[in-house]
Amino acid sequence: MAKLRTKVLYHGGSLKVPTRYQKGVLALGEGTLSFRARGRTLEEKITLTIPVEKLKRVTMEERMYYSSIGYFLRIEFSDDQDMPGELIVEVRSFLRRLRALLTAQKWVEVLGDIIGKGGNHAP
């Protein structure tokens, strides 16, 4: 299984944590996808670990900002009670737009292969 680790910004989803564009890390390890981000307080700290067999779908979106483009990953999964969940993160680029695009596409490709549906992305 491929191992990936990328700095991202938290943008929302089904988690009960307010979105404040928290800096975090999305990592794929042995059988798990994990996401960690700082919150404004310790109670808002985000820690999410998803077994890869609970992943349902991953997509990439490209959104225009004022003068740049952001690449967002939308990861759909089932939680411990088999309820649908969603995580939306932005791949951070810092003026390296092509690197961010390729990184986001790599996440879709790898997670899509794990899910078995090939994933999908819209440039």
Strands (E), 14-121: 23-28, 32-37, 46-51, 55-64, 69-78, 84-91, 120-121
Q: Is the pLDDT of residue 118 over 50?
A: no
pLDDT digits (tens, 9 = 90+) for 49-108: 999 999 999 999 998 877 778 899 999 999 888 899 999 999 977 667 889 999 999 999
Q: What is the pLDDT of residue 117?
A: 54
β-strand pairing of 55-64 with 46-51: unpaired
Q: What is the pLDDT of residue 25?
A: 95
Both structure tokens of 45:
């700290």
Q: Read off the amino acid at residue 1.
A: M
pLDDT digits (tens, 9 = 90+) for 4-15: 999 999 998 888
Number of domains in the chain: 1
Q: What is the pLDDT of residue 85?
A: 93
Q: Is the pLDDT of residue 42 over 50?
A: yes
CATH number of the structural domain spanning residue 8 = 2.30.29.30
Q: How much is the pTM? A: 0.85
β-strand pairing of 120-121 with 4-13: unpaired
Domain that holds residue 14: 4-121
Residue the block writes with tokens 């981000």 = 37
